[in-house]
Structure 1
Amino acid sequence: MDILVIISQTLLYLCFSVLAGSFILLLVPSKFRPDIKIPKRLLLISAILLPVFAFIPVLDITLYIAPRLGLFESLKIVLTTYKIGTAWDFTLLGSIVLILLISLVKSTEKSNFAILGALLTFGIIFTIAWSSHASVIDPIIGIISDFLHLSAVSIWVGILLVIGWFALNHKNWLEFLSWFSSVAIGCFVATILSGLFLMDLMIDGYIDSWLVSYGQGLLMKHLFLLPLVFYALVNGFFVKYKLSKDDTFNPIPWIRVEGFILFAIFTITAVFSQQSPPHGLPLTSDIISPIFRLFHDGTFESGHTIGFVLNVNSVWFFFLSLLFMGLVVLSIFKKASIIISFLLSCLFVICIYSMLMVTVVIR
């Protein structure tokens, strides 16, 4: 069931991104973006799947208590008394309205359609934030932070995905970059600030949280920000330079790579968001992350903290990370496949992660 929950949450975030990116791009005048053709069927399928994927965590809790109360009684209790259940009720309601809007509208090019669609999409995102771990710890700061976090990333990923896969050409690309660069910076800042608020709620210490699975997920997400920022700079500066010198240069592949990395961050979020946050939990051996144990085994007790000691292995992984970063840069100049560039970026992150893990000592 855990695997199903992880997959469902990853696809839920993807649906939010498709909807948010589509509605925002439909609001942008055509002279400020490439020509795009967003299939209405895609919007409809994404809207239909929202309550389906959002229901999986509800089902997980229902099945957990069903042996004692029965399936239907458990489902009734979860949907009417549990926060995750009542939040899903509103998710379903908002999704039904969104489905009707997409189904009944004749033209997706009308601004009223895009405005209503965007409002409904972000309203449904709010219902997901309402049922998050952070909202349980602090109903106000938790909900607002989680809403801003998911909204900002959905906008960023959504625009990249829609432009990357549904643009018919790269006409008006410089005009597109002129406003999208500002949007991406705004989303990045909003993601960082809301993430800091969430971390303050969910964990007692960032580095010490690496001992548990939740903290491992945070670390991996943050390390993927390194290649993400790199490709954002490539799309913001290198692509502008190339287009000013060569009108035939196709910038879309590099938008796709940036989208792949953001989707990888989405996947990591889905995997580790199901783990219990370490806020207030005593440190015991049974909650230590299995990934952390690959690098450090032994007995862990309350009061243990993480320190750092430089060694040969950490230097080795550092130089490996530099090598892969150099290969990423080379792949851009050699116009390599976007899959190769993405894999090299992943290897770069793995090396940085391994460098940190082998440098860690338990005190």
Structure 2
Amino acid sequence: MDIIVIISQALLYLCFSILAGSFLLLLVPSSYRPNIKIPKYLLLISAIILPVFAFFPVLDSILFIAPRLGLLESFKIVLTTYTVGTAWDFTLIGSVLLVLLISLARPKEKDTFAFLGTVLTFGLILTVAWSSHAGAMEPITGIISHFIHLTAASIWVGVVLIVGWCAINHNNWLKFLSWFSKIAIGCLTATAISGILLTNVMVDGYTDSWMVSYGQGLLIKHLFLLPLVFYALLNGLIVKYKVSKDITFNPIPWVRVEGLILFVIFTITAIFSQQSPPHGNYLTNDAVSPLFRLFHDVIIDSSNTIGFTVNLNIVYFFFLCISLVGLIILSIYKKASIMITFLLSCLFVMSIYFMLMISVVIS
């Protein structure tokens, strides 16, 4: 069931991104973006399956109490009294309204359709933030932080994905970058600030949390922000320069790489968000992450903390990271396949991860 919930949450975030990115791009005048063709069925499918994916955490709670109360009674109790169930009720209502809006919208009402779609999408994100772990632990700070975090990420990911896969040309690219670069910086800032607030709510000791699965997921997610920022700068500065000098240069492949990195981050978020947050007296030997065990197979208890050291292996991995950065830049210069560039980015993240893990000292 855990695997199903993880997959459903990753796809839920993808649905939010598709909807948010589509509606926001439709609000932008066509002279300030590439020509895009967003299939109506893509919006409809996203709106229809969104409450289905959002229901899996609810189902998980139902199945947890069903052996004691029975399936139907558990279903009733969770949907009417549990926060996760009540929030999903509003998710379902909002999704139905969104499906009706998409189905009944006419081409001449594009602006109104896009505005209402944006409002409904953000409302649906709020229902998910309401049912989150952070919302349960700190209702005000947790819900607001989670809402800002997911909204900013959905806007950034959504615009990148829709432009990367639905643009039919790269016309008006400089005008597009002139406003989207500011949006991306704003989303990155909002994501970072809200992420710090969420970490303070969910985690007692950031580096110490690396010993459990939730902390491992959080670390890997943060490491993927490094290539993400690199590609964001690439698309905002280098690509902008190349387009200004060569109108035949196609920037869309590098937008797609950025989109792939963003989706990896969404997937990692879905994975570790299903783990128990490391709060309170959480650390026992049985709770230690299998990933952390690969590097430090020792007896661990609540008194242990993480420190760092430097050795020759760390120096090797550091130079490997530098080499991979060089290969990424070379692959861009040689116009290699986006999958090669993406795989090099993943190897870069893995190298930094290994470097950090072997530098850890448990005390």
**Equivalent position of 1:158 in the other structure:** 158
- Between the aligned partners of 2:17 and 2:177, the Cα distance in structure 1 is 19
Show CA shifts across 1:323-359 (max 9, x none).
Answer: 1111001011000000000000000000000000000
**Equivalent position of 1:223 in the other structure:** 223
Amino acid across the alignment from 1:137:
M
**Equivalent position of 1:292 in the other structure:** 292
**Equivalent position of 1:270 in the other structure:** 270
What is the deviation of 1:108? 7.6
What is the deviation of 1:151? 0.2
What is the deviation of 1:254? 0.3
What is the deviation of 1:258? 0.4
Which 10-residue stretch deviates more, 327-336 or 314-323?
314-323
Equivalent residues of 1:309, 1:359 under 8 A apart = yes
- Between the aligned partners of 1:279 and 1:27, the Cα distance in structure 2 is 42
Equivalent residues of 1:26, 1:109 under 8 A apart = no
**Equivalent position of 2:18 in the other structure:** 18
Say if 1:108 and 1:48 are closer, same or farther in 2 by CA, change over 3 A: farther
Q: Which runs of 5+ in 2 are unaligned?
A: none
Amino acid across the alignment from 2:304:
H
- Between the aligned partners of 1:46 and 1:100, the Cα distance in structure 2 is 13
Q: TM-score, normalised by structure 1?
A: 0.99
What is the deviation of 1:54? 0.2
Q: Secondary structure at the match of 2:107?
A: coil
What is the deviation of 1:61? 1.1
Equivalent residues of 1:40, 1:108 under 8 A apart = no
Show CA shifts across 1:68-88 (max 9, x none).
Answer: 111111111110111000000
What is the deviation of 1:286? 1.1
**Equivalent position of 1:139 in the other structure:** 139
Q: Secondary structure at the match of 1:12?
A: helix
**Equivalent position of 2:112 in the other structure:** 112
Q: TM-score, normalised by structure 2?
A: 0.99
- Between the aligned partners of 2:79 and 2:242, the Cα distance in structure 1 is 54
Equivalent residues of 2:23, 2:118 under 8 A apart = yes
Q: Secondary structure at the match of 1:168?
A: coil
**Equivalent position of 1:73 in the other structure:** 73
- Between the aligned partners of 2:188 and 2:73, the Cα distance in structure 1 is 43
- Between the aligned partners of 1:270 and 1:65, the Cα distance in structure 2 is 23
Equivalent residues of 2:90, 2:127 under 8 A apart = yes
What is the deviation of 1:241? 1.1
> How many residue pairs end up in the alignment?
363
What is the deviation of 1:109? 6.2
**Equivalent position of 2:96 in the other structure:** 96
**Equivalent position of 1:124 in the other structure:** 124
Query: Are 2:64 and 1:58 aligned?
Result: no
- Between the aligned partners of 1:260 and 1:209, the Cα distance in structure 2 is 27
- Between the aligned partners of 1:82 and 1:76, the Cα distance in structure 2 is 10
**Equivalent position of 1:333 in the other structure:** 333
**Equivalent position of 2:353 in the other structure:** 353
**Equivalent position of 1:200 in the other structure:** 200
- Between the aligned partners of 1:314 and 1:6, the Cα distance in structure 2 is 33
- Between the aligned partners of 2:184 and 2:166, the Cα distance in structure 1 is 19
Task: Give runs of ≥4 in structure 1 deviating > 4 Å.
Answer: none
Q: CA RMSD in A?
A: 0.8
Amino acid across the alignment from 1:34:
P
Equivalent residues of 2:281, 2:302 under 8 A apart = no
Amino acid across the alignment from 1:211:
M
- Between the aligned partners of 2:108 and 2:225, the Cα distance in structure 1 is 34
- Between the aligned partners of 2:139 and 2:301, the Cα distance in structure 1 is 31
What is the deviation of 1:185? 0.1
- Between the aligned partners of 1:107 and 1:273, the Cα distance in structure 2 is 39
What is the deviation of 1:42? 0.4
Amino acid across the alignment from 2:27:
L
Q: Secondary structure at the match of 1:307?
A: strand
Show CA shifts across 1:217-255 (max 9, x none).
Answer: 111111001100100110011111111211100000000
What is the deviation of 1:316? 1.5
Equivalent residues of 2:62, 2:78 under 8 A apart = yes
Show CA shifts across 1:165-222 (max 9, x none).
Answer: 0001000000000000000000000000000000110011111111111111111111
Q: Secondary structure at the match of 2:35?
A: coil
- Between the aligned partners of 1:290 and 1:32, the Cα distance in structure 2 is 48
**Equivalent position of 2:256 in the other structure:** 256
- Between the aligned partners of 2:109 and 2:332, the Cα distance in structure 1 is 35
**Equivalent position of 1:308 in the other structure:** 308
**Equivalent position of 1:31 in the other structure:** 31
